[in-house]
């Protein structure tokens, strides 16, 4: 079993990365493989198709997804939003029914607003959202700050515990003959009378 982790920060080894590492180590301790992708500035410097395809192809094989973002002006980073818009449009069907979670990192505020935005990608795409003991956030301006955020790191570990548990439940369910629900025919309406 494998979980893909996305670092949607401009900082390759910053606060978001530090939070994702805590999750990754805990998943590994549960016997689950992880693959971390750093999207960086690619989504906004002309390389969006390349990074979306790289992660999208990885998600075809992966069993779960964790998206990490710093908080910029009380929202997820513009880079991660551009990336997720394209990833879900192009590869959404390959991610359906795969457990997912968002984590955010902020110096101080805007965490829950950012967390809400990220979770909406999962819930429009039939992805079970994995939760923790609090909303999934760490606080810091530097990785060292995050390492001192003991509660934040515990939230990351509990999130990973719950992700590992759910992945194993899904695998046990499949072995017992419980597959994902059959897809219902799509109905698309708007609110404009013609
Ligand atoms: C453009 C920009 C906007 C930011 N806006 C916020 C904000 O609204 N609230 C906050 O608490 N921190 C804000 N920060 C700080 C980052 O969210 C915080 O340092 C985060 O942990 C950085 O994660 P990273 O090291 O993974 O990039 C902002 C940082 C930048 C560069």
Q: What is the pLDDT of residues 20-77, one digit of tens each?
A: 999 999 999 999 999 999 999 999 999 999 999 999 999 999 999 999 999 999 999 9
Q: Residue 172's pLDDT is what?
A: 98
Report percent pLDDT > 90 for the chain. 95
11 lines ligand 1 (CB under 6 A): yes
Closest to 43 (Cα-Cα) out of 68, 7, 80: 80
The domain ranges of the chain are: 2-175
Q: Answer whether 0.95 is exceeded by the pTM.
A: yes
Q: 127-165: per-residue pLDDT in tens?
A: 999 999 999 999 999 999 999 999 999 999 999 999 999
Ligand 1 atom nearest to 107, measured from its CA: 11
Report percent pLDDT > 70 for the chain. 99
- Of the pLDDT bands very low, low, confident and very high (cuts 50, 70, 90), residue 193 is low
Q: What is the homologous superfamily of the domain 2-175 according to CATH?
A: Flavodoxin domain (3.40.50.360)
Burial 27-64 (b: 16+ CB within 10 A, else e): beeeebebebbbbbebbbeeebeebbeebbebbeebbb
108 lines ligand 1 (CB under 6 A): yes
193 CA → ligand 1 middle, Å:
44
Contact 63, 2 (CB under 8 A): yes
Contact 39, 68 (CB under 8 A): no
84 CA → ligand 1 middle, Å:
19
Closest to 66 (Cα-Cα) out of 192, 184, 155: 155
12 CA → ligand 1 middle, Å:
14
């Amino acid at each position: 079993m494998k979980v893909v982790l996305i670092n949607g920060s401009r900082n390759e080894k910053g606060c978001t990365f530090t939070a994702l590492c805590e999750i990754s180590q805990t998943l590994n301790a549960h016997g689950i493989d992880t693959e971390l992708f750093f999207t960086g500035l690619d989504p906004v410097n002309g390389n969006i198709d390349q990074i979306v395809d790289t992660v999208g192809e990885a998600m075809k094989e992966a069993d779960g997804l964790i998206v990490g973002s710093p908080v910029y002006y009380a929202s997820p980073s513009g880079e991660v939003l551009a990336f997720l818009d394209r990833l879900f449009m192009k590869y959404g069907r390959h991610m359906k029914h795969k457990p997912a979670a968002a984590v955010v990192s902020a110096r101080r505020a805007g965490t829950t607003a950012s967390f809400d935005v990220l979770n909406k990608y999962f819930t429009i795409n039939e992805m079970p959202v994995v939760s923790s003991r609090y909303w999934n956030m760490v606080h810091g301006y530097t990785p060292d700050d995050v390492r001192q955020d003991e509660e934040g790191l515990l939230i990351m570990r509990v999130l990973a515990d719950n992700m590992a548990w759910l992945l194993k439940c899904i695998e046990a369910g499949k072995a017992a003959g419980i597959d994902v629900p059959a897809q219902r025919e799509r109905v698309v309406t708007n609110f404009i009378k013609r």
